[in-house]
Each structure stands twice: as structure tokens, then as C-alpha cells.
Amino acid sequence: MSLPRNMIENSMFEEEPDVVDLAKDSTFPALDPDEVVYEPRSSRLLVRGLGENDLDDEEEDYESSARLLGMSFMNRSSARSPSASPYIRQAPPRSCYRPSARMLVGGVFILVLVTSMAMVLYFLPGCTFTKAGCPKANSSTPMELVYPKSTNGELFPWNELRLPASVRPVNYDLSLTPNLTSMTFTGHTIINMIIQHDTKRIVLHSSEINIIKATFQSVEVKVLEYKPWQQIAVSFPEDLKEGQVCVLTLDYTASLSHTYDGFYNSSYNDKTGAKRVLAATQFEPQAARKAFPCFDEPAFKATFLVRITREPEYIALSNMPKAKTTTLPSGMLEDEFEQTSVNMSTYLVAFIVANFTSITRNVSSTLVSVYSVPEKKEHTQYALDTASRLLQFYNTLFDTEYPLRKLDLVAIPDFLAGAMENWGLITFRETSLLVQNQSSPLDKQLIANVVAHELAHQGNVFLEERFKAMAKDSLNSSHPVSVSAQVTTPEQVSEMFDSITYEKGASLLLMLNSTLPDGQFRKGLIEYLHQYRGSNTVTDDLWNSITQVAVQESVSDMMRTWTLQKGFPLVTVSRKGGEVTLTQEHFLLSTDNTTHTSSLWHIPVTYVNDSCSSAPSCRQMFTLKNKTATLKVSESVKWLKLNYMNTGFYIVHYGDEGWAALIDALKTDVSTLTPHDRASLIHNIFSLSRLGRVSFRQVLSLLDYTTNETETAPLTEALSQLSSIYRLLDKRQERRLVARMKAYILGHFGPLMDSQDWGVKESVSSQELRSALLELACSLGRQNCTDQAKALYEQWTNSNQTNRIPGDLQRVVFSVAAQSDPGWLSLLDTYRLTTYDSEKRKILQALASTQDPRRIVWILSEVLEGGNIHTQELPLVISTVSDGFAGHLFVWDFVKESWDRIIEKFPVGSYPIQSIIKSTTSQFSTQTHLEEVQGFFSSLKERGSQMRSVQEALETIRLNQHWMDRNLATLRDWL
């Protein structure tokens, strides 16, 4: 799916304010309900902190200080006796006198304090403290709130990032007219709303929109705008009364966005080579406000009636079926869509104007359609088949019928996200929806996964994705799954769409499902969906629904330990005879800037042993709630393996004896553990090596068994871990170690690599394994691999591309071809002409894998321009170039030099920006690079310096550096 701006621009105070502890102030006035409902918890704590002179915390930033000071001055009562203030002004003396030493010290103290406060305020742009907003000393009336300035210089009547709860929208009537020649649009928005409690203001969102006219109850009104928070407001001299129904109408113009959010323009070349244009929406949170003024927070649900005016050669789509089409005097057509049958959040609204075609099918009472550009209609059948089957499956699984009469899946040529789950109109990248009939099962699986994710909007997250989430969650810069209290800026909202929110969130649901007896999770989920259908919920609502049907302890008590604190536990096992002691602690790779806490989780520890280890019936469970607990096993048990099938979100350390017993068991019989359990052992021991709990010799000792491994999950995990180390050594220019690591990998896995055939495989799992093995083999220059790849490429080109390359082999074949001049040029020609989207993306990755510096520079510039290569592919190109030795420094320089252009294309904090930062920095491991990365991002100020992904990057470089310092000597001895 798919930002704080500085709030306050200050001038000097005309009067010195009292600084008080609001929590102890008995004269504290009652707040307007607007201020109460969305007051951040952190702000309440900080206000009290100021009163107690606790404002010396190094973590306090200028913006927090401004909010602190503002709230202290805004919310206190000034009805205090003069003696209550240490800053009362005295009448001028009648004669001069020499102050006492005590008075002099006191005066200096006061001067320093006031000067310090003034300096803090001076350096905080964004809002002006005016006379109207200053406290009036010795007055019996409550002081006035401090507000920022609107664009026209007047005070803006609201001072929070979150909207007030005083007004609730009921229905939007939207009329939009896009002009695909001038790339602009006009809009007419009618918002029917109800007043929740008395208020003199209506505040909503608007961004990059020029409002021409506004009327309230048919009377023209003035609209104020505060751009830093993307808010507009209308003020009234008298209260709007609770329960009142009213109408706000807004006429406006705007440009179609040239980035990938809001109402934006896209383009593609048709089969004749002519450029065609279209307009589409991407309304992940905070982007709907770029298309129409609205209450753009998920809680403000409403119904929507949409009208789109278009030229006859285009079609228009929206969330609901078309109700009617009217021909206007200008010859344009106006499509009116049915009003939504459910209340929707603004980010789920969608509309498209394009020259698309479709195929359709009825599923129960829903018409399912797949739309694409005309040239790719033949590539839509698989998506239609998959969506139809999945819709029927979900209707049955959740015991809930899909609530709309139509479901459109639309492939958009230029689309940032993989897909977006708009109600009734799901939008996709072409590569996430379109696939030709002869595509490989692996390519088709990708399409099925994306469609399934968007239909359910809950991902089925598997082993590799859980490992990726753990890698991010092991950093100090991670965040809890539930973070609403910590999110205060638009950029922070964007950064929440990461692997913690998605992959960890889904992993926790998987853990809960595997913990509960069969069927209870599904029953609880059905109860939750029925009870809260069409409503807003909080996390505990789901846990409570599941608790109602579960026959064990409160699910909420357990799950809150996983969602309200960042990170995950490390469970350490120690054993004496039949007594096994389990100890939990926070698995945290870095201790830099760490606040030590006694984090505890309710861990559903599952385990098997040597007497019964592979079947689900072998699994036993023990709940670890405290720091330490013990369980009893038979003394005859040789070894324990915890976290059966890796369904739990934790890492296990078995101690030297425990690891040795498991390693011996695997060397004796690989099948003694399931493939998932073998993969989790590999993942755990590499993670513990990074933490410094096991030596790298133990890691290599475990990997000795893999010469007998044939299953996909453990092999791909081992290859991934070794490849990461190989790339670190390569970028560190440890030439001898790089050669030894290459020899180690090929020695262990070379025979398996050589045994792979290059024909068509039907099994998805075998395709995944073959792809991983051969891509690594060819990248390491294994002769057998590169020869086969070159031969397959020649057959493909000599047959005019009719001799198809199996889909799982295309990337490795194209990458080998791209290392030669003729191959790279022929691939570039093919990229420009091919209409096969999955093939096109693999060709682009191959082009970006070149080790020719000139071509690296060219492709980076080309994708940023967005001509022959859509700019949406920039993160992919940067990631691919970063993996190569020749390109990793080029691409870092490119990102630094092009940063301003990059954030014009992708919002600060968005997933593409996160990906770009991670790709370009995650393989640095030296102090020089650490200082360079830190210096660059520090210089960005509001253009990205405060992003969490920057902190992750710095933390990762430090960890790489420490790992190298600890393990280089061992690697030299053992490789």
C-alpha cells in the first residue's frame, strides 16, 4: 500500500509564559472535544515532562519541543494568582540600586532559561506564535490556543496532524473531468456530513489542489489552507450544532500527478509504437486528498457516488458498476456509477480513464472482469481463472459473500505498487496480473499469489518471507506491529508499509493459527468479520473475537505481547538429564542506542525429539510466559528441535551440546527433520552467528550436512545466507577470501548445480530450487552453467524467439547473455519490442546486471527519465546494479546525486525509497562508508533525514562492520 512537516514557525514572545506541570494544575480548563479525541499519548506525557523540567533528553528533537511548548502555553489556565509565576514583571524602580548576588544569579538563570526557550522556538519553522495566541497574564479567562498560519496569512483554526472528530462525512458526490492532453483535471465535490458535537470549524484534507469556489449550505465561504499538514478548513462565527446535517461543496482544478500517487497519468506504446495515455488512481493512505478534498483518514468512512467525464475513445471505471452514460453538448460522455453499497475509507476509492479491453465471468452474484491494454488481452485469461476460483474459495472460507456486484482486476502499464485492493476495482502492475499461456508454473504462481493477497488482503506468508521479516525486526530501529501512537507524520505513515507490518503481521497470525486447536482460528475470524463488517476496528477486536471461540487463555493477552513491542524473542535451551530449561530474551543484533527493557513474550513453544520428529502428531507445546521456565522430558531423549515447522516467530539457541546433537542427527539421516525444520536450523545458526552467540565454525559444521540435501527450503536458505556473505566480502575487496568462499560454495553445491537439467519442469518447488542453484552457479562463473545458458540463448535468438526458454531459467540465461556486447544489445532490442511482461522484467534485470560501467550509468539514467523504461522499475534496477561489484559504488553515487529527482518520483518514506536506501547501503561494511552514508542522509534535513529506513541502513552497516571484525580471521582459517 501505499510526510512530519515542521509545525511551528515562531517569533519572540511579548510576555514570558508560566511553565507549569499541567498534571498538577487544579485550574486546568476543560478541553474542546476536538482536542481530546485525537490527542497523542506522547504529547500528554511530554507536556508533563516540561513542567517537571525534564526537557534535557538527548532524544528530544526540535519538533517535539515545539509541540511541547505549544501545548504547555495553549492548554493551561491563566487564572492564577500573580505569586504563582516566577516571571511576574515588576514596576520600574524609582532609583538605581546594586542587585544582590542572589538576585544576580536568579536573574542570570531566568535570562538563560528565557533565551534558551526563545532559541528553540526561533529555529522551529512551520507556525507563528502571534499575539492572539499568547497567554494573557492575570486574566480570568482561559487562554487562547496557538494556531499556525494559513497560506493567506490568517490563523488556521486547527493545530493537530490528525483531523478533529467534530464532523463526520456521510456521503461524497464526486464529479471529475480529466483532460489527457493537458494532463489536468477539474473536480466538483459535494460532501454531505453530520456534526458530531458543537464546533466552529470544518477541517479536512486537500493536497496539490487549487480550490476555485466553496459553498456551505449554498452560501459561499472562504477556505483556509495549511500546506504542511495538507489540511483545509472553513471557520464559522457561530457553533454548528451537534446532530446538524450540512453540505460542503468544493470546485477545484489540479494537474494529473507525474508521480505514482493520487490521480496520476500513465502511458504505454501500442502495437504500432504510438504513445497512448491514461489516468489512474493510487489512493493508499494520504493520496486520495490529491484527487478530491476529503476526510482522508481510514476511520472517516462514507458512501461515494462518482461521475467521470471522458472522451468517447476511452472507457471509465470506478468501484461500482456503471449506472448510466450521458452524452454532453460538447460531445464528451459522462459516466455515472452507482453509489457504493458499503461505507468506504477514502483510500479504497478508485477511478480509471483509459483505452482498455476486458474479459469477464460470473461468479455467484459477482461479475469478475480483467482489464488490460488491447494488445495484451490474450494474457488475461489466467488471472480471470485464478480470481474466479479464489473468490469462490474465500466466500466459502470466511462464510461471507463478496459484498459488491462486480469485481474488476485492472493491469496498469505504469504502476508503483504490485497491486492495490480498492473495493471492486483492484489495480495491478502488468507484471503482477498478466501472463501468457506458455509461461512457467513459477510465473503463474506469482500471479496467483498477488491476486490471492489482494482479494483477501491477508497474505499467505511462507518461510522465506518470515525470515526476511525477522532480519528487519532484529534491528534496534524496528517498530512494533501496532504503532499508531508513534506515528505523527505523513512520512512515518508511509514507512509503516514494510515487512514488519505485512510479513511479521501475517507470521503472527500463522503462529496463532498453529497454536489453536483445529478450526478455532477460522471460527474466530468469521466471528470477527461478521461482527465488525463495514466498521473500524482495533487490534484487540480480532483477538477478542478469537478468544470467544478458543478454549484456552485469552488470545488478547498472548498477542499483545507480540504486537505492542518491537522485535522477537531468542529462546535458549539448556538441559540437565530430563530437565530442560528455557530462557527468553530480546533477540537484538545491535546494542547501539538501545534502551534496555525486560521484554517478555507469551511464546507458544512447540517441539519434537529424536523419537518422533517429522509428523504433525509428534508436535508438543509449552507456553513460555516468564523469563525462565522448565519442562520435563525423558532422559533417553537425545535431542530436541524447537519451533516445529518454524510456525513460531522466534529463534532458538540450543547451546554447544544441543547444536552438536542436531548436527550429528542430520549427518546421519537428513530426513529425520522436515525440510522446514532443516531450513529453520540453518537460518537460526546464521542469525546466532551475527549475534556472536555461535562461532562461524559451528555454522560451517552444520552446513556440512547439506551435501546430502535435496529439498528446496533448506537449500535456498543456505544459498541465500552464503551469497550474502560472498557479496559482503566482494564489496570489501577481500580478494583471497572471495576466491575461497567461491570454492567453498561450488565445492558444496557444485555437483547439485551440474545435475540440473535445462528443460521444462512442472513442479513449482523444483523450479524454485533450479533457479536458485543455476543463478548462483552462473554468477560465480561455473563453466558448465554459463555454457548451457549461452547455448539456450543462441537457440532462442536463432529461432526468432519461438524456441521458448523455460520461465524459471529466463533470468539466468538473459543475465549470462548480457555480459557480452552483442548479447546486451540484442536484449535491449528485445526489451523494447516484447509484450510479455514477466519476460520483459527478467530482461531488464539482466540488462542491469552488466559489469560494464558505461552501460550501468546509461540504464540508471534511462530508468530515472522514464522513457523506454518506466520509472516504476527504478528500485529493481538499483537493487540489481547494487549486487554487482562493478556497479555498487556507481549506484550509490547516482542515488546521492539524483536524490531530489528520486523523491519527486517517489514519496519520502514510501516502499520504493526504503528499497533504494537498503539496496545501495546494505553491503557496505567499512567505517568510511558508514560516515559517508551518515553524512549524506544527515544533510537531507526534511528531504528524508529522519526516515526509519536511514536508521536501519546505518545500523546494518555497523553490524556488517562488526561481523567482519569478528569473523575474518575464522574465515581465513576455515575456507
Q: Distance (Å, rounded) from C-alpha 295 to C-alpha 168?
A: 8
- C-beta separation of 828 from 846 below 8 A: no
For 176, the grid coordinates are 471529475
Q: Is 745 exposed, middle or buried (0-12, 13-18, 19+ CB in 10 A)?
A: buried
Q: Give the neighbor-by-neighbor strand order of the sheet with 184-195.
A: 219-220, 210-216, 245-255, 184-195, 167-179, 303-310, 333-337, 322-327
Residue 572, phi-psi category: left (phi > 0), alpha (psi -120 to 50), beta (remainder): beta
- C-beta separation of 804 from 796 below 8 A: yes
Pairing of β 640-642 and β 603-609: antiparallel
- The 3-state DSSP class for residue 134 equals coil
Contacts of 746 by beta carbon, 8 Å cutoff, 6+ apart: 753, 777, 780, 782
Backbone angles phi, psi at 745, to 5 degrees: -60, -45
From the annotation, which residues make up the binding site for Zn(2+)? 453, 457
Tell me 807's DSSP state.
G
Q: Give the neighbor-by-neighbor strand order of the sheet with 224-226.
A: 199-205, 231-240, 224-226
Buried b (16+ CB within 10 A) or exposed e, 75-99: bbbbebeeeebeeeeeeeeeeeeee
Q: Distance (Å, rounded) from C-alpha 386 to C-alpha 595?
A: 48
Contacts 24+ apart (CB under 8 A), 503-507: 503/459, 503/461, 503/465, 503/466, 503/468, 503/469, 504/469, 504/470, 504/473, 504/649, 505/481, 506/458, 506/459, 506/460, 506/461, 506/465, 507/461, 507/465, 507/466, 507/469, 507/649
Q: Distance (Å, rounded) from C-alpha 504 to C-alpha 483?
A: 13
Per DSSP, the residues of 210-256 read EEEEEEETTEE---EEEGGGTEEEEEEEEEEPTT-EEEEEEEEEEEP
Contacts of 345 by beta carbon, 8 Å cutoff, 6+ apart: 297, 298, 299, 300, 301
Per DSSP, the residues of 481-503 read S--GGG--SHHHHHHTSSTIIII
Q: Distance (Å, rounded) from C-alpha 570 to C-alpha 600?
A: 10
From the annotation, which residues make up the binding site? 453, 457
- List the Cα angle 931/935/939 in 5-degree steps: 175
Q: Taking the CB of residue 752, how many other CB atoms lie within 10 A of it? A: 18
For 147, the grid coordinates are 494556531
- The 3-state DSSP class for residue 426 equals strand
User: For residue 212, what are the CA distances in angstroms to 84, 216, 234, 249, 273?
Assistant: 50, 14, 14, 11, 39
Per DSSP, the residues of 498-567 read STIIIIIHHHHHHHHHHHSPTTHHHHHHHHHHHHTTTS---HHHHHHHHHHH-SSS-HHHHHHHHHSSSS
Contacts of 188 by beta carbon, 8 Å cutoff, 6+ apart: 174, 175, 176, 249, 250, 251
Buried b (16+ CB within 10 A) or exposed e, 487-525: bbbbbbbbbbbbbbbbbbbbbbbbbbbbbbeeebbbbbb
Is residue 454 part of the annotated active site? The answer reads: yes
Give residue for cell 452507482.
Answer: 338
- C-beta separation of 575 from 638 below 8 A: no
The single residue of 430, 454, 709, 873 carrying the catalytic annotation is 454
Active site residues: 454
